[in-house]
Amino acid sequence: MTVLQAHGYDVSAVSMVRRLLGPVVRFVARMRRDLAISLAIGEVGKPALERAGMLKTSPTHWGILEVSYLVGWWLIALGVAVFPNYKDEPLFYFPAIVALSVAWLVTMALYSQTLGTTDFSLLRPPRGTWGRLLEAMQKRRVEVPDVLRTDESKAEMDSIVPTAVPAVMPVVLLEWFRWLTVRAVLVALIGMIGVLVGPSLAGVHWWRGWSPVSFLYAVSAPWVAILVGSLLIPTFVNAFLAGLRADRDLAVVIPPSDGRGPVADDATKHSKARPRTRRTRD
């Protein structure tokens, strides 16, 4: 006789409970172990993510860009939320934003792969740019520390900026695309929710034809406008680089009036080429 039987327990019932709960307990144990391993891997990889700019702390002070984004977002959201809507709007709006999000994710993912191999060396600013930037800031009454206005700091920045700008530009653009990708996914989720519940909510009308579906319109409309506008980024970037490239090449054939090319390094390289001599007849 076992201890359980001595205390009046049914051994068969206990064994059945163990067989039922055993897989659940083992599953929970595996999940806890996998979670602990994932957290350990994340802790080890956190410094690398911070160096790559993938992890950032929340800023203590908002700048003009953050404030402008929040003000614009709320103005668009509130404007869309108070507009009256019609019953058939969800049948067109929500499938449209789902299609927009999917198309954006596909096209921008392909374009972001080309940013790593794009030549941004044409964006190398000429020497003296840092000094002109400090002068422009001082004209607009921006406080500049004295240590940045010394000749030594200007010379050091002139040696760093021409190399740093082309190297940092792909990181900046990819950071924008990463931020936009999260918004595209959110718009797709809102669109799918709207496809499911939008027609039902659009049938409920309150004061002056207002419907609860306007909440979904208000949350998604600012991000939809941003996604549509961001589709112009590849065109602007390619046009800007093409313009700089054409300006550099034309500066070799048609030198500027001041004798300096727009890209100092490239102009210097071409200026060192052997000049063409004119053959004269005897």
| Closest to 124 in 3D by CA, of 160, 149, 152, 155 | 160
Average pLDDT, the chain: 77
**H helix intervals, the chain:** 3-6, 11-51, 64-82, 90-115, 129-139, 151-202, 214-230, 233-253, 264-271
Residue 172, pLDDT > 80, answer yes
Distance of CA 18 to the CA centre of its chain: 51
How large is the angle between the packed helices 151-202 and 233-253, nearest 10 degrees?
150
| pLDDT attached to residue 12 | 64
Confidence of residue 209 (pLDDT cuts 50, 70, 90): low
More confident residue, 207 or 150: 150
pLDDT in tens, 95-112: 999 999 999 999 888 888
Residue 127, pLDDT > 70, answer yes
| pLDDT attached to residue 276 | 46
| pLDDT attached to residue 97 | 93
In whole angstroms, how far apart are CA 217 and each of 74, 99, 226?
13, 16, 14
Confidence of residue 277 (pLDDT cuts 50, 70, 90): very low
Percent of the chain with pLDDT over 90: 14
Residue 205, pLDDT > 60, answer yes
Separation between Cα atoms, residue 56 and residue 45, nearest integer Å: 14
Q: By the 8 A CB rule, do 127 and 158 touch? A: yes
Residue 142, pLDDT > 80, answer no
Residue 249, pLDDT > 90, answer no
Confidence of residue 169 (pLDDT cuts 50, 70, 90): confident
Distance of CA 51 to the CA centre of its chain: 17
Confidence of residue 228 (pLDDT cuts 50, 70, 90): very high
Reported pTM: 0.66
Which residue bears the tokens 């058939």? Answer: 88
| pLDDT attached to residue 180 | 92
Lowest pLDDT segment from 27-36, 64-73, 171-180, 260-269: 260-269
Residue 143, pLDDT > 80, answer no
| pLDDT attached to residue 137 | 79
Separation between Cα atoms, residue 232 and residue 227, nearest integer Å: 9
- Among 4-8, 9-13, 15-19, top mean pLDDT goes to 15-19
Separation between Cα atoms, residue 174 and residue 233, nearest integer Å: 12
| pLDDT attached to residue 226 | 92
Where does residue 102 rank: exposed (0-12), middle (13-18), buried (19+ CB within 10 A)?
middle
Which residue bears the tokens 């034309």? Answer: 250
- Among 37-46, 95-104, 139-148, 162-171, top mean pLDDT goes to 95-104
Percent of the chain with pLDDT over 70: 75
